[in-house]
Amino acid sequence: MCVVAGRAARVTKWPEKTLFNAPFPAPASVSSFSLHSLQESGDQSEEEPREPSQAGGMGTLWSQEELATKNKNRLRRILEARNSWYSGSGEEKAFQFYNSCMDTRAIEAAGTGPLRQVIEELGGWRISGNWTSLNFNRTLRLLMSQYGHFPFFRAYLGPHPASPHTPVIQIDQPEFDVPLKQDQEQKTYAQIFREYLTYLNQLGTLLGGDPNKVQEHAFRSLIITSRLFQFLRPLEQRRAQGKLFQMVTIDQLKEIAPAIDWLSCLQATFTPMSLSPSQSLVVHDVEYLKNMSQLVEEMLLKQRDFLQSHMILGLVGTLSPALDSQFQKARRKLSQKLRELTEQPPMPARPRWMKCVEKTGTFFEPTLAALFVREAFDPSTRSAAMELFTAIRDALITRLRKLPWMNEETQNMAQDKVAQLQVEMGASEWALKPELARPEYRDIQLGPNFLQSVLSCVRSLQARIVQSFLQPCPQHRWKVSPWEVNAYYSISDHVVVFPAGLLQPPFFHPGYPRAVNFGAAGSIMAHELLHIFYQLLLPGGCPACDTHALQEALLCLKRHYAAFPLPSGTSFNDSLTFLENAADVGGLAIALQAYSKRLLWHRGETVLPRLDLSPQQIFFRSYAQVMCREPSPQESYDTHSPPHLRVHGPLSSTPAFARYFRCARGTLLSPSSRCQLW
């Protein structure tokens, strides 16, 4: 069975290309479904977002973030509906978990008791006085396997470097809760250090620790974090040295980093896998592991109690969102301070229901997927979406025949690749059969408090993820949930995926004017189809192509994007974004070609009420709506341009846009010359 394959693949970051998210972020640990989505911001009032009417929703621009909120609101209504479910079913447990998450009165009443119990199970800590002599590897094993917490390194299942469909355990650098950077100014570094120290002091005090002991242990914990951080080597450096993927056995890893009982810790974490000392692993930073092990050995000799406190404080920070409001207020204050210090905009407050919906979706995805698709993506919607995709695919094939930089052989190869492409629409097959997942929830025990419910769900999901990779799955493993607003192309499976959450108003509806559907959903589909040919655009990727013509087109596109002024505080790396820029420009052109052809076949086109726009203007506005969102700091691995460039770049590259909106020649959106790559 592949009932949790979608979640498993998404957690472990199998290769993919996506429209909205960066395609290759650092892989998450096997337990990356921890509580951080509950701790990003505080609760706010229960005001619901306004929803557009089906045919009139274009009057107000909606971004993908707003559509994602609308989809979560639909899940909320499903979870809050009064239904009778089969006892012990996934539906019943999902509803119970959501209600437990929303029951803040019970969470407040439980106070710190549930977390104190967890700390006692781990041997306690000197901060509270109840501390047993540290068995370091026992504590580490419990943290990894029972609580999804990885204080010194990350361990997760990911694709084998030489065989993308073969999962292999991977050992990587840890993820630090403190936003430190290797090129950070000393002043900023010190300020971040102080703010995080204040936060750790608050956690220890909330748990009843002696203030003097708390301060000392919190300070030592930050010193450990700082030293570990200094051991890190940048991704680019490791890649350049050919040390990003190093195959070692567990026995060899024991020699590299002897402080860790690797076999015991990994076996507990990846049960029911059967591991042996000769088991091969992928290590992403051998030097870090060596230095980390030396630090742990040094502290075990002299400062064992501080090492225990470091691990406990890290766990408390991870679990605190499932506790009462005092912990969440402390976290929210820290987040606000750190964002100020790193010059990021304030994190908008999110309502409690949204965080609870997200957690319920994480732990009970197959159940919620079926309920969401049943309500939001009926057969007529799926049929209309497939019809749109067929029109986009046909337009791409036609366009491939006319590309000047492709010879006939490459054109034929490209057309065959498009013809062989698989498309999955709405939801994966397992999502439509929730009965397959019912046995998977038997190990989930909800209660007696919310923290214990969360921990039970974490352990259950972790086991399901590992189990899913041990079973053969002939189908593509989805990397997104059906309610997410994120299409992607999977290189390894040669399949393109469009979840039901994306194909919703105002981006798509069977009753919309074709201009809306082609401009919004159609441009997304075309963008994803162009990911098939990324390799051709890379140096040496297309030996049979007209290299001179191809390079001229690529350089033209780079110069075109470089000419746009950037808003204050915005930056991007064009060496990372040029492939996505090419897909944005080409996707809009292909969608417009498909729409124009459809107009020839079906004369007459409806327009939207209260909007004085022609069908073609509605097409372009629909495209802009998909790409438009609030600017945010670009992540170092983000392969997409800032939002205003994703709107202006493709629109200014399309002559029809300037014609229909009467843009004067030589202006920003109507340049005197344009590039044609696709």
> What residues are annotated to the active site?
528, 584
Distance CA 551, CA 677 (A): 10
Distance CA 42, CA 331 (A): 9
- Listed in sequence order, the DSSP H helices in 207-276 are 211-231, 235-240, 250-256, 262-269
The b-or-e profile of 546-560 (16+ CB within 10 A means b, else e) is beeebeebbeebbeb
CB 12 within 8 A of CB 27: yes
- If phi over 0 gives left and psi between -120 and 50 gives alpha, with beta otherwise, what is residue 426? left
Q: Please choose, from the candidates 583, 357, 372, the residue with its C-alpha nearest in 3D space to the C-alpha of residue 489.
A: 583
Instruction: Give the sign of the dihedral formed by CA 491, CA 497, CA 502, CA 503.
Output: positive
Task: Give the residues across from 425 on adjacent strands.
Answer: 498
Instruction: Give the sign of the dihedral formed by CA 591, CA 594, CA 600, CA 604.
Output: negative
Residue whose tokens read 């399949």: 495
C-alpha dihedral (577, 579, 584, 586), degrees to nearest 10: 150
HSE of 640, CA atoms in CB hemisphere, 13 A: 22
How many residues make up the chain in this entry? Answer: 678
Q: Across the beta sheet with 495-499, what order do the strands follow? A: 17-18, 488-490, 495-499, 422-426
C-alpha dihedral (516, 518, 523, 525), degrees to nearest 10: 120
Q: Which residues, 6+ apart, have CB-to-CB distance to 234 below 8 Å?
A: 182
Q: Which residues, 6+ apart, have CB-to-CB distance to 386 below 8 Å?
A: 423, 425
